[in-house]
Chain A
């Protein structure tokens, strides 16, 4: 089975711009979660989508948004980028195995200049 894929792997943007990141979950997985990882704050949960609906949300400002498509692929959008948004953005998909183990993608490294 192919793993979780994320595109692009690296992005450089400037302050004020917006960015869209993409995540394709493992085939058959319907839940996709997004995380931000920084050296200072560690891993922080952004939101989770299940069957095209946002099911859970972390404590991030409204500039961070997401969506999920009918094929379970998910996108995350960050508008009006700030320097502090520089981070590794990870997505994870969860399958129906019953243990809710999250399988992580390789991440998108976003640098905001």
Chain B
């Protein structure tokens, strides 16, 4: 079964702290996406990770991909309130001449001042 599992699903943290969100997936894929969704809003692309060992950083967010372990991490450094949102990872998979993104359940991140 194709699965993308995120953990934790809910995270409440203080400003200034560091934390990591994990994204495990069950099938071979060389392409992983991270998106952010604010309450009542649409999805905003954060990172596209295209190969094993890929690391991308934007501000206080850093994402990495280990295709052998089928694991991606989204690391938050010195969190600020504006980063409060739900974060999704999605994996590009193909089968039976079909392909699609399989999404994790999302990690709801609340950062308290």
> Which residues of A are interface residues toward B (Cβ below 8 A)?
33, 42-45, 48, 56-58, 90, 92, 99-107
Main secondary structure of the interface of B (DSSP, over half): strand
Main secondary structure of the interface of A (DSSP, over half): strand
> Which residues of B are interface residues toward A (Cβ below 8 A)?
31, 33, 35, 41-45, 48, 50, 88, 90, 92, 98-106
Q: A56-B99, A58-B100, A101-B33 are in contact. Are A42 and B42 (CB under 8 A)?
A: no
A104 — which chain B residues lie within 8 A by C-beta?
Answer: 35, 42-44
B106→A42 contact, CB < 8 A: yes
Q: Give Cα A106–Cα B44 distance, bound, in whole angstroms.
A: 10
Q: A90-B42, A103-B45, A106-B42 are in contact. Are A48 and B92 (CB under 8 A)?
A: no
Q: A45-B100, A100-B48 are in contact. Are A105 and B42 (CB under 8 A)?
A: yes
A90 — which chain B residues lie within 8 A by C-beta?
Answer: 42-43
Q: A90-B42, A90-B43 are in contact. Are A102 and B101 (CB under 8 A)?
A: yes
A43→B88 contact, CB < 8 A: yes
Q: Give Cα A57–Cα B50 distance, bound, in whole angstroms.
A: 23
